[in-house]
A and B are shown apart, each in its own frame.
Chain A
Amino acid sequence: MKKQLVPESSFSRFDLLSEEIVFIILDFLNENPLDKKSFSRVSRSFYAIESRHRKFLKPLRSEHLTKILNRYRYVSTLDLSMCPRITDASLGVISGRCKEMLRSINLSRSKFFSHVGLSNLVMNCGNLVEIDLSNATELKDSAAAAIAGAKNLERLCLARCKSITDIGIGCIAVGCRKLRFLSLKWCLGVGDLGVGLIAVKCKEIRSLDLSYLPITSKCLSQILQLQHLEDLVLEGCFGIDDDSLAALKLGCKSLETLDMSSCQNVSHVGLSSLNSLAGCLQQLNLSYGSRVDRALADSLRNLSMLHSVKLDGCQVTCSGLKAIGNWCVSLKELSLSKCMGVTDEGLSSVVTKHKDMKKLDITCCRKITHLSLANITNSCTSLVSLKMESCTSVSAEAFVLIGQRCQFLEELDVTDNEIDDDGLISISMCAQLSSLKLGICLNITDEGLIHIGKCCLKLKEIDLYRSAGITDSSILAIACGCPGLEMINIAYCEFISDRSLKSLSKCSKLNTLESRGCPLITSSGLAAIAVGCKQLFKLDIKKCRNVDDAGMIPLAHFSQNLKQINLSYSSVTDVGLLSLASISCLQSITILHLEGLTPSGLVAALLACGGLIKVKLHASFKSLLPPLLFEHLDARGCTFQWRAKTFQAELDPKCWKLQLADAE
């Protein structure tokens, strides 16, 4: 799609294509945002067609809103998450240009607008169906009252709008009667009255997120009367207790998903009320709640539609797990991550009964041994996802069973385990594997990984963090065998050199590269990545001492999708940093302990990089930079994080793990 320049003067064959056909072609150009740009540069007509085709827009700079909205008149979805500074004037431009076309707007990462702008937006864009106002901590009830003017609103996210109170929510409840999805997570000013009014007025609600609200049984009974409610999140609602749940007995026939994680005042007594949801409840999250014992498990026994249960972080007893094993339903998803008290006996009784299990999370269940793994692999042969980070008592031989029996695995997390090459060779039989996490697996070497690279062609994500035995040949195999690779972490794999990066540059879809603490990596390797991996958006080259300005310049030229970069402890100087500043979508940079960085260079880079949202800097710069600069960057929506850590020399990996063990 790159260089199909047609002479402008002569007749263009492309003009014979109908607009519909070109639209269909354009529908497929989604992978890289630059593709559509190239497309529109082919000819005037292509430019016009592309302008008419685009429905979704994610601008990088609010200053140019006028121009782009003039060009793209049919935009219905506007994602402003890349524009930290959206003022009332910007909203005025949007409402003036988009008018009735606009259906969805995302302001979750933007600041500096007020109820005036919102009111303007809502008045002009009468077809708005979705507004995301998350993180607008400054907005008050007046803003909520402005939102209430959006009569057609169906989805509204107000997460972390801490200054909005019941009054504002009351306005929304009265104004937006068609609401289907509402998130009030962390809206600490909203209580029973506001939520109760939502339940009274917005009868169409399908999904309601009330996490961390100070609500009690008063509004819960009203919520449960909503006829269409499917998804209810009550995470961390400390006001909800057993008595509140008694309201469930009145019956709510539509609820499918219920999240009551971190509801510490709910015990099996209250949960027994869930029985009235037996006909509909499919997913239940009771993480970080009360102890999972026999009584609790029995109280949930009659939920005949249940297929997913999350019990993360709960104290679990053996009898509780056995009771779960006796449920009449067959669970498809079970999460016991960080549960204390999961033993071989308990876990085995669960997995032998629930044979249809697709996803199992037993992260940090440190008591289980190869016995559990044998049982899991034996009965749950259709497992798609297995997460078992830090199951430290499972012996190396056990991992062989995974590959032998669970051939449908797509996601496997064996971080911090005893797995060795034999295990990896076995796992390489899982041809569907797309995500493999092998962090801190000190027993694996190239031998096993080469097998993975050869066999797991669908691998998208591989994590080799501190798997110290790895060398370039592993990465070579993976890069060649897995062309669809999107994310790789080779942090602290000391033997990795530029050869690896050059081979990885063939993975054109690579978007995340973490190569922290790889001393052999140089600028030339990075240059190869920059040229080859156009979609790179996250790059971590902290402690890559041999990476310098020469690596930054190609990055600046080719990696136009780079959003996040960590340059700490590298040899990059003012020059490199300034060149990076030209990457228009760069949002976050971490620049600690850059020896070659001077205050003036830093100022220049900070000013030049217009899209910055987050800068992590050493505290010593705080006094060296002009205060006016901070004000200016603050007005642009950029925040600083100051770190005062002293320079740290790198430990060798084995030593690091020992230190970790000591700390535990």
Chain B
Amino acid sequence: MDPEERPCADTWTKSSSGSESLQTRPTNTSFNDFNTQQTFSFNNPFGAQISVTSNLNNQKQMSDPQESNNTQDWDPRAMLNNLSFLEKKIHQLQDLVHVIVRRRGQNTGQADEILVQQQQLMTADLTSIIVQLISTAGSLLPSVKQTLCPESSISQQFGVTNQTAGVSDNVVFQHNNSVNKLEDPSDMTGFFGAEQNCPIEDHEMKSDDDADEGENLPPGSYEILQLEKEEILAPHTHFCMICGKGFKRDANLRMHMRGHGDEYKTPAALTKPHKESSSEPILIKRYSCPYIGCKRNKDHKKFQPLKTILCVKNHYKRTHCDKTYTCSRCNTKKFSVIADLKTHEKHCGRDKWLCSCGTTFSRKDKLFGHIALFQGHTPAIPVEESKGSAGPSNKVEQLEFKYKSDAPSGSSCRNVMDLEGSGEDPISYFSPLNFETSGIDGFQEFPRPPFEDSESSFSFLLSGSCDYPPKNGRYTGSNDME
């Protein structure tokens, strides 16, 4: 699932044909959020110049191989190419959204598993198309700026080296463009939304961020690196020094470098770079989150570094980005990291531990931890159980019916007799002959103080009313049943 690694636009169209997702909105939001972005990092001391460099960095990340060869000077043909590609993609997107709309119309209310799977496929493909759109659109912008500010070519070059040399050049002490960039329209945070929008925190997903909390490295014993927001949010971490093309894996970059000349084909260039430097003493690297005020930011009083780049990425997305990935099954849970979504989708719907507040948990102990923590929250009884008890409650209603007809009237015998035909309640099988019920009637036959109307409830002296010989006679009938 890495569109940028594919060399040409044709393969993209192929890959994304067939199914789409619902996320047409993000393309707009990236611009809508522009303002919030600005205010958000208002106190940026570096100003516009830095933003430019960052834009260039971004361009490098996003640019297509075709025009990335020409990045040094602005190529209108490449721009046109990009524009036509954008057009094509937008049409594709429209088509697919139409398809979705139609399908929704047909299958309303059908909770089919296949349908859900189809939707998931569509969501995934649509996401990839939109990512492509954004990156292509982003690649257009710096070219424009380039014409506006001539010195940018230097910074651009700088940016490129930065990128290709990897994170180590961005070491915070070096004081280069490590601060958040604001006026970057292609900013991916636009896509992911502003930090303030972060919805309900996901307790379960946080754990791996905090996994290294126990680590107590003395300050200074490690090198603190701070990636920029764009780097963190960029899909790639490895960039070609020559053409700027981005890759997810260093191995893929090395394979790519072979295309740039024979000097990159030597076995030494192709082996893992780290292995060579293993003889040198390696300074432990730890990472800082670029978000100021965050506990993971190096300026925080109780700074806790992040262990790996992956940690940085996951941490930044989870904590400082909008949660844009919605689970297609439950439509409630949102995630900012796709892997989290996938983990969730694996057990979505099987979250059987439910709190009265509506939060679901995959594990019972998590639910109980939650309830122990919050006042007034209580475990919710699963729906199946209350439904399951519908059987008995039906029976109960029956009995209630019987009861109503039985209790208030003194002549209960007749009522019960009427019921006997229809009632399936075993208690009424014998009720006309039932001694207890007949006791209510038979009761009056015996001399009793007039005020003692409820005496039968204790039935201490009921013995008199249960005169066995006549009853015995009646019961001989039951003998015939055998």
**Interchain CB contact under 8 A, A60 and B437:** no
The answer to the question of B399 belonging to the interface, with a C-beta cut-off of 8 Å to chain A, is yes
- How close is A12's CB to chain B, nearest CB, in angstroms? 14
Q: Is the CB of B466 within 8 A of A608?
A: yes
A148 contact set on B, CB distance < 8 A: 378
Given A196-B368, A632-B426, A584:B460 Cβ within 8 A: yes
Quick one: closest B residue to A556, CB to CB?
B463
Q: Determine whether A596 belongs to the interface, using a CB cutoff of 8 Å to chain B.
A: no
When the two chains form the complex, which single residue of A117, A578, A631, A635 contacts B468, counting CB atoms closer than 8 Å?
Answer: A578
A37 touches B453 (CB 8 A): no
B262 within 8 A of A: no
A214, CB-defined interface residue at 8 Å: no
A70 and B456 CA atoms in complex are apart in Å by: 13
1/0 contact trace for A36-56 toward B, CB 8 Å?
010011001001000000000
Chain A residue at minimal CB-CB distance from B400: A89
CB distance from A129 to the nearest CB of B (A): 21
Number of chain A residues whose Cβ lies closer than 8 Å to a Cβ of chain B: 77
A344 vs B234: C-alpha distance in the bound complex, in angstroms? 86
How far, in angstroms, from A37 to B476 measured CA to CA in the complex?
Answer: 35
- Which of B115-123, B136-144, B306-314, B384-392 lies at the interface? B384-392
Least CB distance from B38 to A in Å reads 46
Does A13 count as interface, using CB distance less than 8 angstroms? no
Tell me the residues in window 148-174 of chain A with beta carbons closer than 8 Å to chain B beta carbons.
Answer: 148, 166-168, 170-171, 174
In the complex, A600 has a CB within 8 A of chain B:
yes
Rounded to whole angstroms, the CA-CA distance of A602 and B353 in the bound complex is: 51
Bound-state Cα–Cα, A85 to B402, Å = 14
Q: Which residues of B contact A34 (CB under 8 A)?
A: 460
Cβ A604 vs Cβ B475 within 8 A: yes
Residue B437 contacts which of A59, A63, A71 (CB distance < 8 angstroms)?
Answer: A63
- On whether A200 and B468 interact (CB within 8 A), knowing A89-B399, A599-B479, the answer reads no
Question: A89-B400, A608-B468 in contact; A628/B368 too (CB < 8 A)?
Answer: no
Q: A59-B457, A70-B454, A582-B462 are in contact. Are A88 and B400 (CB under 8 A)?
A: yes
Q: How many angstroms between the C-alpha atoms of A575 and B452 in the bound complex? A: 30
B372 CB to closest chain A CB (Å) equals 5
Which residues does chain A contribute within 8 Å of B368, judged by CB atoms?
A: 166, 170, 193-194, 196-197
- With both chains docked as a complex, state the minimum distance between the C-beta of B179 and any C-beta of chain A, in angstroms: 46
> How many chain B residues touch A (Cβ–Cβ < 8 Å)?
63
Main secondary structure of the interface of A (DSSP, over half): helix
In B369-420, the 8 Å CB interface with A consists of: 371-372, 376-379, 381-382, 385-386, 388-389, 392-393, 396, 399-400, 403-404, 406-408
Question: For window 188-232 of chain B, which residues contact chain A by CB distance below 8 Å?
Answer: none
Contact indicator A92/B400 (Cβ below 8 Å): yes
Taking the nearest CB of chain A, how far is it from the CB of B452, in angstroms?
Answer: 7
- Identity of the chain A residue whose Cβ is nearest the Cβ of B353 in the assembled complex: A167
**Which B residues form the contact surface with A (CB < 8 A)?**
353, 364-365, 367-368, 371-372, 376-379, 381-382, 385-386, 388-389, 392-393, 396, 399-400, 403-404, 406-408, 425-427, 429-430, 433-437, 440, 449, 451-463, 465-466, 468, 471-472, 475-476, 478-479, 481-482
A-B contact pairs, 25 of them (CB 8 A): A41-B452, A60-B458, A63-B436, A65-B457, A66-B407, A67-B456, A88-B396, A88-B400, A93-B407, A116-B389, A117-B396, A142-B381, A142-B389, A168-B381, A171-B379, A175-B378, A193-B368, A194-B368, A575-B472, A579-B468, A581-B468, A607-B435, A609-B435, A610-B435, A626-B481
A-B residue pairs, 8 tightest by C-beta: A64-B457, A582-B466, A67-B454, A604-B475, A584-B459, A635-B426, A68-B457, A631-B426
